[in-house]
Amino acid sequence: MATVLERNQAQEPKMSAAISARQVESQKVSAVMVATTPSATQLHRTAGIATARNLKKSYGNIIALNSVDLHVRAGELLALLGPNGAGKTTLVRMLLGVARPDAGSVSVFGADPYDGHMQARLGAMLQVGRVPETLKVREHLDLFSSYYPAPLPLAETLQIAGLADIKDRPYGELSGGQKQRVLFGIAICGNPDLLFLDEPTVGLDVEARRLMWAQIRTLISRGKTVLLTTHYLNEADALADRILVLNKGRIIAEGTPSEIKSRAMGKQIRCTSRLTMEEVQQIPGVLSVKADRNAFELQVNAAEPVVRELLQRDPWLADLEVTNAGLEEAFLALTQNHNAESKEN
């Protein structure tokens, strides 16, 4: 996978020397130093700080992005929500300038990120983060801080990322969740204006996840802008001002968390029945069915027509329950609806 670091090694000989000298073989993105960085006040006068227009990207016959438009507003937390393979990381990599679209345009702080002139204002935690195992946590932070013109003091980064207790430990000896926190620390240490967090909480336990959520909220309260990708509607709901739902390379929904939830909220029907799984699946309006012990669990948008059909097709139907779908089921329903629609077209 290409990285900002790799690309800048080609474009920024000084940086490349500094990096190779310290044997950084990072899959993580950090910024390179540039001469001028507008102040936070200037930043907040800029309405949209990252924009993508009509982005298209294919890998062979896989369409990773299909006519995607996106507008990140200063000071917001925008969540990109979508299942595996939806195109989230591809979109983030284009905004970072580490991948080029086949068509369309990207602008970050008014410039093409591929030119690299605004990299010092960006921080990123990419999904597949890798940094040298032997360096200690604080050495990583010192190194990455040195790429930025006005980094956070080390103590502050350690505190925000929850690394104070492990700052003298080599990265390679850390647990998966601790490594995630180091990568988060590296992403924020340069005090960037725009932060890309690609599934930052994967692998974290519940407490660590909540802690990172709180830290992300603190960054937003300090005027930073965050683009976060996640699979989890509850994570987007907990953090985001706005959510974009991406599925199969297309944006299929956009709105505030409550708008997305209300669009996604379906119902769950539970019952025991003499019908087969296939017969239940064929009932119009049934999005998905699974067998749970001797009962079926159906995801639907509207319960009444499906219940009517079930009762008509199976006079022995019993143990009927209708509940609101949980957040995860709701998200599934949203993407499955889109899949069904795209098959019809």
Ligand X SMILES: Nc1ncnc2c1ncn2[C@@H]1O[C@H](COP(=O)(O)OP(=O)(O)OP(=O)(O)O)[C@@H](O)[C@H]1O
Q: Using an 8 Å Cβ cutoff, are 7 and 98 in contact?
A: yes
CB of 88 vs ligand X, minimal distance in Å = 3
3-state SS, residue 249:
coil
Output DSSP code: residue 31. Answer: -
Which partner, Mg ion, ligand X, none, binds residue 64 by CB below 5 to 8 Å per kind? ligand X
Output DSSP code: residue 165. Answer: G
Looking at 21, 39, 41, 59, which residue binds ligand X (CB under 6 A)?
59
Residue 66 found at the interface with ligand X (CB under 6 A)? no
CB of 231 vs Mg ion, minimal distance in Å = 9
| Separation between Cα atoms, residue 157 and residue 296, nearest integer Å | 50
Count of residues in the chain: 345
Residue 155 found at the interface with ligand X (CB under 6 A)? no
3-state SS, residue 273:
coil
First to last CA, the chain: 34
Q: Which amino acid is at 165?
A: D
Select from 71, 80, 77 the least CA-distant residue to 48: 71
Applying the rule CB under 5 A, the residues between 126 and 145 that interact with Mg ion are: 127
Residue 51 found at the interface with ligand X (CB under 6 A)? no
Residue 62 found at the interface with ligand X (CB under 6 A)? yes
Residue 85 found at the interface with ligand X (CB under 6 A)? yes
3-state SS, residue 227:
strand
- 176 is written with which tokens? 């998966």
125 has which bridge partners? 197
| Separation between Cα atoms, residue 269 and residue 287, nearest integer Å | 11
Q: Applying CB under 6 A, which part among 82-90, 265-273, 318-326, 337-345 lies near ligand X?
A: 82-90
Letters for 61-100 (x = contact with Mg ion by CB under 5 A, - = none) are ---------------------------xx-----------
Number of residues located near ligand X, criterion CB under 6 A:
13
Residue 200 found at the interface with ligand X (CB under 6 A)? no
Which partner, Mg ion, ligand X, none, binds residue 38 by CB below 5 to 8 Å per kind? none
Q: Using an 8 Å Cβ cutoff, are 199 and 231 in contact?
A: yes
Applying the rule CB under 6 A, the residues between 265 and 294 that interact with ligand X are: none
Looking at 8, 37, 89, 335, which residue binds ligand X (CB under 6 A)?
89
Q: Which amino acid is at 148?
A: Y
| Separation between Cα atoms, residue 136 and residue 188, nearest integer Å | 17
202/220 with CB nearer ligand X:
202
CB of 52 vs ligand X, minimal distance in Å = 13
Residue 127 found at the interface with ligand X (CB under 6 A)? yes
Which partner, Mg ion, ligand X, none, binds residue 252 by CB below 5 to 8 Å per kind? none
Alpha-carbon dihedral sign for residues 128, 132, 134, 137: negative
Cβ-closest position to Mg ion:
89
Applying the rule CB under 6 A, the residues between 214 and 243 that interact with ligand X are: 231
Residue 333 found at the interface with ligand X (CB under 6 A)? no
What's the burial of 221, exposed, middle or buried (CB within 10 Å: 0-12/13-18/19+)? exposed
Which partner, ligand X, Mg ion, none, binds residue 62 by CB below 5 to 8 Å per kind? ligand X
Residues in contact with Mg ion by the rule CB under 5 A: 88-89, 127
Residues lying near ligand X in the complex (CB under 6 A) are found at 59, 62, 64, 82, 84-90, 127, 231
